[in-house]
């Protein structure tokens, strides 16, 4: 048994002893995006510090707790706060919770994040369904000794975001009257924001938006065959020719305002999924 498998089994035993098992869906909430919790009937709340081998959120606006409960009739496991490369964690550590979610039996992973909008039509507060990504982080969460029990050594990434759930999100947004754009997300190291030249570079290579998360989790999800969907909230406009200074406080305020629509979309998508599978 690999060291990763041993750590994973310890984490699983702990969570199963807490009554957490077979979630229908798992959700990773991004910066300032906590309003999905108003739809969650919480049965258990566990700080990350109490979970064996779980990293700990070191960013002040990431709560750092795992929540277990129901949204409608769906059992849901929610990460309120995530981990980032800029905090000093390896991408393997960042991807660890996704392995836990899959081993617990999750059938769908929903990820949200705050991102800077590079494409000219993206405005503050827009919701963007990620259709593809560019990994500009200096590592890959699958690097290192391979454990075949986790899946393929070279997982295919031609469709990293599951087409069925992508369509479900689009249809739900249309039914709710919520504008949902699509785009390509670039993941960078951070924590500094980008220069004008860097935004020009990102635009040139095909990125519509940029952030510091999500991609490691999606790569691991694809290896372990956990279908995933990800949505960005555009929190600042990154036109290199008209770039204005922005603060974290401003970014969080925009995320909070847009989260009213995002949280409704996530909860309604879970309800719609019930209808499709019942």
- Say if residue 168's pLDDT is above 90: yes
Instruction: Using pLDDT thresholds of 50, 70 and 90, give the confidence band for residue 61.
Output: low
pLDDT digits (tens, 9 = 90+) for 241-262: 989 898 888 999 999 999 999 9
- Say if residue 28's pLDDT is above 60: yes
Q: Report helix, strand or coil for 268.
A: helix
Spatial CA neighbour of 127 closest among 220, 35, 248: 35
- The pLDDT value given to residue 149: 86
- Say if residue 56's pLDDT is above 90: no
Mean pLDDT of 87-116: 96
- Average per-residue pLDDT for the chain: 93
Task: Please name the residues in contact with 195: beta carbons below 8 A apart, sequence gap of 6 or more.
Answer: none
Report CA torsion sign: 258, 259, 265, 266: positive
- H or E stretch at 261: helix 248-277
**What is the rounded CA–CA span in Å between residue 276 and residue 71?**
16
Domains of the chain: 3-277 (3.40.50.1580)
Cβ atoms of 41 and 123 within 8 Å: the answer is no
Q: pTM higher than 0.75 for the full model?
A: yes
- The pLDDT value given to residue 275: 59
Tokens of 76: 């849901």
Cβ atoms of 188 and 207 within 8 Å: the answer is no
């Amino acid at each position: 048994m690999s060291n990763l498998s041993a750590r994973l089994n310890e984490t699983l035993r702990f969570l199963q002893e807490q009554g957490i098992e077979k979630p229908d869906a798992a959700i990773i909430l991004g910066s300032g995006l906590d309003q999905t919790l108003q739809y969650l009937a919480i049965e258990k709340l566990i700080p990350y510090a109490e979970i064996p081998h779980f990293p700990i959120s070191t960013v002040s606006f990431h709560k750092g707790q795992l929540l277990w409960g129901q949204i409608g009739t769906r059992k849901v496991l929610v990460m309120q706060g995530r981990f980032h490369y800029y905090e000093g964690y390896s991408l393997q550590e960042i991807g660890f919770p996704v392995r836990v979610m899959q081993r617990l039996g999750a059938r769908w992973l929903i990820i949200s994040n705050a991102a800077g909008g590079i494409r000219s039509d993206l405005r503050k507060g827009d919701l963007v369904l990620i259709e593809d990504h560019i990994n500009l982080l200096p590592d890959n969460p699958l690097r290192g000794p391979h454990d075949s029990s986790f899946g393929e050594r070279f997982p295919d990434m031609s469709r990293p975001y599951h087409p069925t759930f992508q369509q479900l999100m689009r249809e739900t947004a249309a039914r709710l009257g919520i504008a949902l754009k699509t785009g390509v997300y670039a993941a960078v190291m951070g924590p500094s924001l980008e220069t004008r030249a860097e935004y020009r570079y990102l635009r040139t290579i095909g990125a519509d938006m940029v952030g510091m998360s999500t991609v490691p989790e999606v790569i691991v999800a694809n290896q372990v065959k956990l279908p995933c969907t990800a949505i960005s909230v555009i929190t600042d406009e990154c036109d290199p020719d008209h770039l204005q200074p922005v603060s974290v406080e401003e970014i969080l305020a925009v995320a909070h305002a847009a989260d009213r629509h995002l949280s409704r979309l996530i909860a309604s998508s879970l309800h719609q999924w019930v209808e499709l599978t019942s």
